[in-house]
Amino acid sequence: MSDAVIATDSSSLDMTAIVNDLNRLLRLRTTPIGMKMFKTKAEMEAIPKIRRPKHIHTTDQIVGQASRNGWTVGITMDDLVGAQCGTVIGLHPRDEKWLSGDRMTGVWYGTAADAADHQACMEVLEYGQYEAMAVSPLTSGRLNPPDICLIYATPAQMILFINGLQWLGYKKLDWGCVGESSCADSWGRALKTQEPSLSLPCFAERRYGGVMEDELLMAIPPAYLPKVIHGLEALSRNGLRYPIPPYSVSSDVREGMGVSYES
């Protein structure tokens, strides 16, 4: 049954309908976007109405241009500020210098060993497969299909999103947190594993990518989204929906619990 609501052909998904459902069920305030890797720069630049950066950016900024401004943007390694950004999406090698974490030492980590341990823990795409990456709002249809979808949500919205994902074919979901460079926990991990990947957006994502202080990020392959919608609809019919109305901390709880559970 659970497999029946996981899309087998992501290119056939109606992304506009999916986004409309997510907005209806969760009232998202940030544009859901897609991310796609390209073997060649030419393939990326062939996307209709794609923008190319005029300045040097972080990947966080490129993602923010899609999710905050609604733009379709494509990049190569030449557009990124450094190896830390490029390595996560496989545009720069995971070489000895990168693994040393020398630029992180004394900034984010107290010793060179700590910085190197951090780099080793990051989940990244293998280098050499791709030359370019693009992001675009899901409703644009320009990345058909995207490799992954990026959905920003508050903690209350996100737990219901996860509950929807778990409605059928339940699995405990385990994620990690590398700390700074947490894009490795979201789009890095999801691109690598093709599994839903939740992250706490890091300092750089919030400072440079426009991520709001109360937002979490779910990176998820598009094939999972029908399953999430199916689960959210079922939960909504049970009265488990967003916004979650607060119940008094001092009232008799039985009245509230009785709505959802048989006594």
Residue 3 reports pLDDT greater than 70: no
pLDDT of residue 256: 87
Range 93-103 average pLDDT: 97
CB atoms within 10 A of CB 24: 14
pLDDT of residue 95: 97
Helices (H), the chain: 15-26, 41-45, 59-67, 83-88, 96-100, 112-121, 155-166, 187-193, 203-209, 225-237, 254-260
Q: How far is CA 197 from CA 27, 84, 106, 215, in A?
A: 21, 19, 29, 14
User: Which residues, listed in sequence order, are joined to residue 74 by a DSSP beta bridge?
Assistant: 134
pLDDT of residue 259: 87
Which residue type, as a one-letter code, is found at position 203? F
Q: Tell me which of 239 and 9 has the higher pLDDT.
A: 239
**Can the peptide bond before residue 145 be classed as cis, meaning omega within 30 degrees of 0?**
yes
Exposed, middle or buried, 11 (CB in 10 Å: 0-12/13-18/19+)?
Answer: exposed
Tokens of 138: 């899901």
Nearest to 147 by CA among 119, 182, 176, 189: 189
Q: Tell me which of 232 and 255 has the higher pLDDT.
A: 232
Range 155-173 average pLDDT: 97
**232 contacts 160 by C-beta, under 8 angstroms:** yes
**98 contacts 127 by C-beta, under 8 angstroms:** no
Distance between CA atoms of residues 135 and 158, nearest Å: 21
- pTM for the model: 0.95
What is the domain partition of the chain in residue ranges?
Answer: 2-243
pLDDT of residue 199: 98
Tokens of 13: 């998904």
Could you tell me the pLDDT band of residue 209, with boundaries at 50, 70 and 90?
Answer: very high
Which residue type, as a one-letter code, is found at position 17? A
Range 118-123 average pLDDT: 98
Nearest to 158 by CA among 114, 110, 200, 120: 200
Residue 1 reports pLDDT greater than 70: no
C-alpha dihedral, 49 to 54 to 56 to 58, nearest 10°: -30
Biggest CA–CA distance in the chain, Å, is: 64
Nearest to 12 by CA among 125, 158, 144: 144
pLDDT of residue 2: 47
What is the overall mean pLDDT for the chain? 96
Distance between CA atoms of residues 147 and 34, nearest Å: 7
DSSP code of 242?
Answer: S
Could you tell me the pLDDT band of residue 262, with boundaries at 50, 70 and 90?
Answer: confident
Distance between CA atoms of residues 56 and 82, nearest Å: 9
pLDDT of residue 5: 67
